[in-house]
């Protein structure tokens, strides 16, 4: 997976996670490679600022996080942490190295 350097406008910390690289960006926001204080790597999704102001979107994002908390199994990255009340809501899952979905289907 091609990782990109952080941009000047990217946060360096989200919650207790230090951000290292961008993994990708899409309609909802940006996904970063981060790590916790112990060095455990995570994929951390932070929603776009304009969507953070939309209460309907925040509700949908909260449902996504709720669903991620219930999913268990070897085929899914485990939810590690989330903050739905942050100025820009986010969630972190365990980081699974490998090619992106885009790379696999392109």
Q: What is the DSSP letter of 7?
A: P
pTM: 0.88
Residue 11 has pLDDT above 70, yes or no: yes
Q: Where are the beta strands (DSSP E) in 1-106?
A: 4-5, 13-14, 17-25, 29-35, 41-47, 79-83, 90-94
pLDDT digits (tens, 9 = 90+) for 24-80: 999 999 999 999 999 999 999 999 999 999 999 999 999 999 998 998 877 788 999
Question: Which structural domains are found in the chain, ordered by start?
Answer: 4-105 (3.30.200.20)
- Residue 9: which pLDDT band, with cuts at 50, 70 and 90? very high
């Amino acid at each position: 997976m091609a990782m990109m350097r952080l941009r000047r406008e990217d946060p360096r910390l989200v919650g207790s996670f230090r951000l290292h690289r961008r993994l990708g960006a899409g309609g909802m926001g940006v996904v970063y490679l981060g790590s916790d204080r112990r060095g455990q790597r995570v994929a951390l999704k932070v929603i776009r600022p304009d969507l953070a102001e939309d209460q309907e979107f925040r509700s949908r994002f909260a449902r996504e996080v709720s669903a991620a908390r219930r999913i268990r199994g070897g085929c899914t990255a485990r939810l590690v942490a989330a903050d739905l009340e942050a100025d820009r809501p986010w969630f972190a899952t365990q980081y699974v190295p490998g090619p992106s979905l885009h790379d696999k289907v392109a």
